[in-house]
Every structure is written in C-alpha cells, then in structure tokens.
C-alpha cells in the first residue's frame, strides 16, 4: 500500500520506526503503513498543534496524535519556557488528571520530564477535577500547572491544558511564547524523559479538604440550607472526577439527601453508559433523570469528566424533568447571587460579573438592574480568568459564566468549577423552595423582570483534514458574503474579532474591537438578535450561536412568546442554511 501514500507523510511515518520509539509505537505505525493509508495520513499529515490552551487530539501513534512523545515534547517546550521566564528560585508546577484512558500515564510523563528539568512537581495521587488543579497552582504558589483532560470529547480523545501562576489557563503573551518553545522541539531526542523522583511531591486528600473549606465559605444562605437540607438531589459524575468531590461538598454544605447513579460513579475512560460524557446532551443525563423520576427527586446534576461543567435538570410546571441550558443556569445563579449580595448589603459599587461574547445578554440585563458592572470577553474561560487578574485588588469579582455550562463564583479558583457550581445550584434550589418557588419559577420570574431570552446552538462536525479545510471555507464565505438581514430584521453591526473591528452597517464606519484577535464573527440585528459563528477550539466543529429575545409581561404568555422566538430562530437557521 506504500505506493498510494504521499511521500512526505510516508517519510515522516518511517522516522517513527526507529528504535528511539518504543516497540508498541513502532508496531502501530508499521501496521498503518501496511494496512490503512487513510488513517496513516490522519496520524502524520501534521504535528499535533500546541494551541493557545495546550494539546487536544485523538490518542494513538503519530505526530498528529496524543501519545508519550507528543506529550513529552510539549512538556519539554513548557520546561524550556519556564526556565527562560523564571530567573530566580525553584520553579514549581502542579499536575492533575481526569478519568480518561491514558490520563494518569500522560500526567506521569509530564511529571517525569519536568522533574528531569529540575522543576519541582506537585502531582495529585489520583484523578481530580480541573478546578482543583487551578486551586492547587495558587495554593502552592506554582509558576504553572498542567491538567490532562479532553473535557467532554469522545473517548478516543485526550488533552493537555496549561495554566499560569494566577491559576488561569495561559493567555498572551505566555501562550504564544510557550507555543514558540514547543515548536522548537524538533525531535524526541531533545526531551528529558528520565524522571528525577526527588523533584516530585505527591499530593491528595489534604488539598481536597482545604479546597472544600474554601468552597463552603462561598455559601450565602446556610440557614436556608439547614431548613431544607433534605431536598432530594440526584448527582452523576458521568464516570468522571466529580465523584471525588461533588458529593463531599454537598454534604459539607449541609445537604443530606444526595442520591447517586452507581453505574456512573465508576471511573471509566470508555464512558460505557453514555454516548457522550457531555452534560449539554440530554442523553448523558437520562439515567440520572430516570432515577430522579423513580424516587421523586427535586434536582438532577451531572458533571463532565473533568468536573468543570455541570448540566442541570429540574421539574417544570407539569412536574416533568426538563434540562436547563448553560445560559439559563448562569442567569438563575447570577440572579440568586446578586439578590443575596444586595440583601446582605455587600454591593459597594465596585463589584463585577464576566461573561463570554456568545453567552446570553440576559446576564448583562440582570447585572444592570443591580448596578453591577458586566464585562464581555472572548469565548473561553481563560479570558474570564484574565479579567479577574486584571481587576485583582481593584474590583470585586462576584461570578462569571459561559453558555457552554461553565460557571465560577469567587476568586480563589480561576477556571470554571462544576464542584462549586453544584454547591451553588443546590443552595439556589433551597432558596427557591424557601420562597415557595421551584427552579423553573425562578427562571420565569427572571424572564418577566428582565426579558425573555432564548438561545439555540448549532454545531456542525467536520472531521479530519478535509473538515478543517471546509470550516475555513465556511468562515471565509460568511466574511465576504455576510447576511443583510436575519428573520426580517436588518443587520446593523458586524463584529469581526479576527480583524478586531466592527462594521457599523448604517453609517458605513469601521470601529475598533478592544479584544484579542479570534476567529469569530457576530451579526447584530436591529431587533437585538445576535448570531455568532466560530470554529471550536477543542473539537472538529463549527458553531453557530443564535440568541433572540422578547418582552414577557406575564408567565401565562410564556408558551406564546416562546413559540414566537422559536419561529424566528428557525427562520434564521434556514436563511443561513446551517441545519
């Protein structure tokens, strides 16, 4: 089959047959050369890119796969950058990992390489949630952190995320500088794989206790929790790291009626009970909802494998379980937090919230009514962390959220935190109950007070080399041929974050955007509808976010207004030909 393979790809693959690669890797590469040309191309047509957040890819042999060698080269590049950047004292890095296949192996590879470079490593003794890694970076005054996870990606994926000393994921200039150092590693011979055990410190339960105590300090209604401690909560970690800490934080907060889903408490990187371990997808919560129905529970929560995002199911007015999307959960939590901060007279005028540009503007509407500043940042929680760092010691951060089910309260973690979010969601449910309301009642109250916002996310999957090219072509076409109207409303602004400029269509002016460059387009219509388009940074997808809103004068009109918004959103989907 070799004659059918691109010469450059074949030459690259053959370098992986040398004895500097282990026997299993050589066997896999030889098999691809002999039997599977298409897969060989996918494994070697490029080097797995170390992007602005780190690595993410399919596991296996090859330069475009997650394996010992690509992880080792990334870690050596990080080590080289840390040595250039940190001139004095011992360099320190914390490492955590999730439940995925090979996660502990990759974490140990990273620890070995760093230790061989005379860097002190704080390595968790077993799997831990990503937000705890963020916490550990700050707790140990580390210069950097690594977590091995591919979040909610399919089971064949894994990833490698890098954090900086503030506990947030790397941003400019460190992201680009680390990428440059990683790209300089041209060969595995440059990687120091030989572990220096003296530089590795194993950490575990003692950090859990400190982290959980900090989370408990965020509670705003301990007396209400005590009063409603027995609300029935069904929780599932979807085979992931949440099983370590979510039940513990709920118990510490005072909740006594937590029901698990035993089949999904088992840590398993094959995720045997779900099609996808993604709490955004209804199928992932099916087992938990079935249990909730059987035991007449009040609340269902599910966290993704690295426990930084949470999906929520609650009962509607017909007593049936419905899923909340990330925008709805963030809106309810924001409303609860600001209401309690106001009640406790904690709002002094310098507090703020942060949301991403594709997250519902309902968050800003709520913030405005409480006279709390709300910042918009690019998609990705690292930009929320960057905003926290920018305002450290100047303003008080209350919370931040994104539509993709990530939320954060307080400043001692600098990434989205599902452990913390589960605790706050349960507390909000108790508060609602104390006021004679359900979670859905709260949401409807918010719609009446602040406007009925509704969102739709369309994700188109485009896999492999051809998929990358197709996504690039789609973005190009939307740039050169933007829509003039959407669902009958004129497009009045076009935000192009890659060009860092806004086109004011009516005045024909070009206005600057004060955000880092990013491959995102936004179309804003005269009636306030927002359509955002961006390639995913972590999956082979292009995403379309559509948000529209109407006034809701009475909850009795909910169905009527909801249908009106749905019709508008569907019309936009048809016009953009993205269904």
Q: How far is CA 191 from CA 16, 72, 408, 517, in A?
A: 15, 6, 36, 32
The pLDDT of residue 468: 87
Q: What secondary structure letter does DSSP report for 392?
A: T
Calculate what percentage of the chain has a pLDDT beyond 70: 99
- pLDDT single digits (tens) 463-503: 887 888 999 999 999 999 999 999 999 999 999 999 999 99
If you write DSSP's letter for every residue of 174-222 in order, what string do you get? HHHHHHHHHHH--SGGGS-----GGGEEEE-HHHHHHHHHHHHTT-S-H
Of residues 78, 69, 54, 111, the one with CA closest to residue 178: 78
Considering 63, 115, 151, 548, which one is annotated as catalytic?
Answer: 151
Residue corresponding to tokens 């939590």:
333
18 pLDDT more than 90: yes
Establish whether 562 is a catalytic residue: no
Q: Identify the structural domains of the chain with CATH numbers, from first to last.
A: 46-209 (3.40.120.10), 231-265+277-450 (3.40.120.10), 452-576 (3.30.310)
Spatial distance between the Cα atoms of 408 and 399, rounded to a whole number of angstroms: 5
The pLDDT of residue 4: 66
Helix, strand, coil % in the chain, rounded to nearest 5: 40, 20, 35
φ, ψ at 173 (rounded to 5°): -90, -5
Q: How many residues does the chain have?
A: 579
> Which stretches of 398-527 are DSSP H helices?
418-434, 439-450, 464-480
| Cβ contacts of 318 within 8 Å, gap of 6 or more | none
Of residues 550, 250, 266, the one with CA closest to residue 425: 250
Residue 208's Cα: distance from chain center in Å? 21
- pLDDT single digits (tens) 205-264: 999 999 999 999 999 999 999 999 999 999 999 999 999 999 999 999 999 999 999 999
Spatial distance between the Cα atoms of 278 and 286, rounded to a whole number of angstroms: 12
Q: What is the mean pLDDT of the chain?
A: 96
């Amino acid at each position: 089959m070799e004659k059918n393979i691109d010469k450059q790809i074949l030459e690259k693959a053959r370098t992986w047959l040398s004895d500097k690669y282990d026997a299993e890797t050589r066997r896999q590469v030889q098999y691809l050369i002999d039997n599977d040309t298409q897969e060989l191309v996918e494994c070697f047509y490029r080097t797995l890119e170390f992007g602005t957040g780190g690595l993410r890819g399919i596991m296996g042999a090859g330069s475009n796969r997650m394996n010992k060698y690509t992880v080792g080269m990334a870690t050596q590049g990080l080590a080289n950058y840390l040595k250039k950047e940190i001139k004095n004292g011992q360099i320190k890095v914390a490492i955590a990992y999730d439940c995925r296949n090979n996660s502990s192996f990759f974490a140990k590879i990273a620890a070995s390489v760093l230790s061989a470079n005379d860097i002190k490593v704080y390595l968790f003794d077993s799997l831990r949630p990503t937000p705890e890694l963020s916490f550990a970076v700050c707790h140990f005054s580390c210069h950097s952190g690594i977590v091995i996870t591919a979040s909610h990606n399919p089971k064949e994926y894994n990833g490698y995320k890098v954090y900086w000393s503030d506990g947030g994921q790397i941003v400019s200039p460190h992201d680009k500088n680390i990428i440059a150092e990683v790209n300089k590693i041209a060969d595995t011979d440059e990687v120091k794989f030989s572990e220096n055990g003296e530089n590795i410190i194993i950490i575990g339960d003692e950090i859990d206790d400190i982290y959980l105590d900090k989370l408990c300090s965020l509670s705003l209604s301990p007396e209400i929790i005590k009063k409603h401690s027995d609300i029935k909560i069904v929780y599932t970690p979807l085979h992931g790291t949440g099983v370590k800490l979510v039940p513990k934080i709920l118990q510490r907060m005072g909740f006594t009626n937590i029901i698990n889903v035993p089949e999904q408490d088992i840590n398993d990187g094959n995720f045997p009970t779900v099609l996808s371990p993604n709490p955004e997808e209804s199928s992932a919560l099916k087992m938990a909802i079935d249990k909730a129905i059987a035991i007449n529970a009040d609340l269902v929560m599910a966290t993704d494998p690295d426990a930084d995002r949470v999906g929520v199911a609650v009962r509607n007015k017909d007593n049936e379980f419905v899923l909340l999307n990330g925008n709805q959960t963030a809106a309810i939590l924001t409303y609860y937090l600001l209401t309690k901060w106001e009640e406790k007279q904690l709002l002094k005028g310098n507090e703020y919230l942060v949301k991403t540009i594709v997250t519902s503007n309902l968050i800003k509407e709520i913030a405005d009514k409480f006279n709390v500043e709300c910042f918009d940042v690019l998609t990705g929680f690292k930009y929320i962390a960057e905003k926290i760092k920018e305002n450290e010691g100047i303003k008080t951060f209350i919370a931040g959220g994104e539509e993709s089910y990530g939320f954060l309260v307080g400043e001692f973690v600098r990434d989205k935190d599902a452990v913390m979010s589960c605790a706050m969601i349960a507390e909000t449910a108790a508060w609602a109950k104390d006021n004679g309301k359900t979670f859905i009642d709260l949401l409807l109250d918010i719609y009446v007070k602040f406007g009925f916002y509704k969102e739709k996310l369309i994700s188109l999957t485009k896999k492999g080399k051809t998929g990358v090219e197709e996504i690039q072509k789609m973005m190009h076409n939307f740039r050169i041929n933007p829509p003039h109207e959407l669902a009958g409303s004129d497009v009045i602004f076009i935000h192009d974050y890659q060009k860092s400029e806004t086109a004011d269509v009516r005045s024909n002016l070009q206005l600057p955007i004060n955000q880092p460059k990013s491959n995102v387009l936004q179309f804003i219509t005269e009636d306030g509808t927002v359509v955002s388009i961006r390639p995913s940074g972590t999956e082979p997808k292009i995403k379309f976010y559509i948000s529209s809103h109407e006034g809701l004068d009475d909850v009795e009109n909910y169905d009527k207004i909801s249908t009106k918004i749905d019709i508008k959103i569907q019309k936009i989907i048809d016009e953009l030909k993205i269904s």
